[in-house]
Amino acid sequence: MTTLRRHILELLWANARPTGAYELIEALRIENSRPVGPPTVYRALGFLMAQGLVSKIECLNAYVPCVHPERGHDCLFFICSCCGASVELEDPRIGGLLAEDAAALGFAVKRRMVEVEGMCARCAEANPA
């Protein structure tokens, strides 16, 4: 774990929402006098993902720290389209259902990511329909 990788992970933990690579680059630029380019940040994010420390939320093209990095699990994210917050949920039933469906289709799964977009309870309360 290099200093830069650790720092990027710390930035992700400090953020209360999914964070894009260019937001990380800007945060690093503000904190350091030495600029860090996109390839360096993407390599660091790739390493952190490979280690199970970070997940990518595909629909936002943003990254979040894994809630339970000590154990492998399928990622299930609920993403608020109003405030941008995300919550990672661990539910083995969903992984089981996806595995059953994939097996029935003869489909070889490489990675499973479920993203549900909607409105969080706080935003729903603030914006009643």
The pLDDT of residue 70 is 66
Nearest one of 84, 2, 86, 77 to 41, comparing CA atoms: 2
Q: What is the DSSP-derived secondary structure letter of residue 51?
A: T
Average pLDDT, the chain: 89
Is the pLDDT at 20 greater than 80? The verdict is yes
The pLDDT of residue 25 is 94
73 versus 102: which is more confidently predicted? 102
Q: Which one-letter amino acid corresponds to residue 87?
A: V
Rounded CA gap, 22 and 42, in Å? 10
Which residue is associated with the tokens 């280690």?
51
Judged by phi (left if over 0) then psi (alpha if -120 to 50, else beta), residue 61 lies in left
Strand order in the sheet with 113-118: 86-89, 75-80, 113-118
Which pTM value belongs to this model? 0.83
The CATH number given to whatever domain includes residue 61 is: 3.30.1490.190
What digits encode the pLDDT tens for the residues 63-96? 999 877 666 666 789 999 999 889 988 888 888 8
Cα–Cα distance list, 114 to 7, 19, 30, 100, 125 (Å): 27, 18, 34, 15, 25
The total domain count for the chain is 1
The pLDDT of residue 34 is 74
Q: Domain of 90?
A: 3-126
